[in-house]
Amino acid sequence: MQRKQRVENCLVIGPPRGPLHDVADAFLWLLPEEIVKIVEYSIFAAYSELRLRYYHKDGIFEQEIPLVNTTPNYGGTRWWFLCPKCSLRISRLYKPLDACYFFCRHCHDLTYTSAQMSRDSTQKFLQATARDLGVTTREARRWFELNYDTPCIQEVQRPIINKGRDRRTGLALMVTKLARTKGLSV
Ligand SMILES: [Zn+2]
């Protein structure tokens, strides 16, 4: 019997928030051993559709994901995906690293695990990572927080960074880029 994949070992995408706009950008995941996974996305507001494009193994994969909305009691608009396989309304798309496509949790037969590290070992791990990378423990923690949070599509206009003044390199720059992807400021 094949072992169940873990949710934690997947690329995870959350839906857009607020009014839908045409937008094209990319999700970025930083995995251990400096592996970077990039998934380009475009939203076509007129069709309520999210298109994904990414490299996997030796090919380019493309997916079109329908978006539907509901109106919560507190007002506004909430967006959902329709799973491209089972057509159920879902709030997260998952792609296990070795899988070719993004589907819902059930279609990928994913399971959650409680493999949480203890506080002490987390701290030690962060310190060791920080030492390796030549950054502070705080920066390393921030990096992991950003990395393991679910990327959501931000339709809000992000501030343009002044490249001439941004002399940060390596990890700090990566953190800034990730933060911007999530519409946060660092
Ligand atoms: Zn599904």
> 80-120, pLDDT tens digit by residue?
999 999 999 999 999 998 899 999 999 998 876 544 455 66
Asked whether residue 80 is domain-assigned, the answer is yes
Say yes or no: 84 and 100 in one domain: yes
CA–CA gap between residue 79 and residue 43 (Å, rounded): 12
> What's the total number of domains in the chain?
2
Asked whether residue 184 is domain-assigned, the answer is no
Ligand 1 centroid–CA 106 distance in Å is: 6
Say yes or no: 103 and 133 in one domain: no
Say yes or no: 30 and 80 in one domain: yes
DSSP secondary-structure letter at 149?
S
Ligand 1 centroid–CA 104 distance in Å is: 4
Name residue 69's beta-bridge partners: 79
**What value does the mean pLDDT take over residues 6-25?**
85
β-pairing verdict for 59-70 and 78-82: antiparallel
Ligand 1 centroid–CA 153 distance in Å is: 20
pLDDT score recorded for residue 36: 82
> Which residue, 94, 113, 132, sits at the end of a domain?
113
Question: What are the helix (H) ranges across the chain?
Answer: 119-133, 137-148, 170-181
For residue 133, pLDDT beyond 60: yes
CA–CA gap between residue 28 and residue 146 (Å, rounded): 10
Say yes or no: 74 and 141 in one domain: no
Ligand 1 centroid–CA 86 distance in Å is: 4
Ligand 1 centroid–CA 88 distance in Å is: 6
Say yes or no: 27 and 73 in one domain: yes
Say yes or no: 41 and 106 in one domain: yes
Ligand 1 centroid–CA 91 distance in Å is: 11
Say yes or no: 16 and 108 in one domain: yes
Q: Which domain holds residue 74?
A: 5-113
- Any idea what the Cα angle at residue 18 is, between residues 80 and 51, rounded to 5°? 50
> Which residue, 60, 83, 113, sits at the end of a domain?
113
Ligand 1 centroid–CA 89 distance in Å is: 8
> Which residue, 97, 113, 129, sits at the end of a domain?
113
pLDDT score recorded for residue 49: 96
CA–CA gap between residue 109 and residue 124 (Å, rounded): 33
Asked whether residue 137 is domain-assigned, the answer is yes
pTM of the model: 0.63
Find out whether 171 and 32 touch, Cβ atoms under 8 Å: no
- Any idea what the Cα angle at residue 7 is, between residues 121 and 84, rounded to 5°? 160
Say yes or no: 16 and 39 in one domain: yes
Ligand 1 centroid–CA 82 distance in Å is: 8
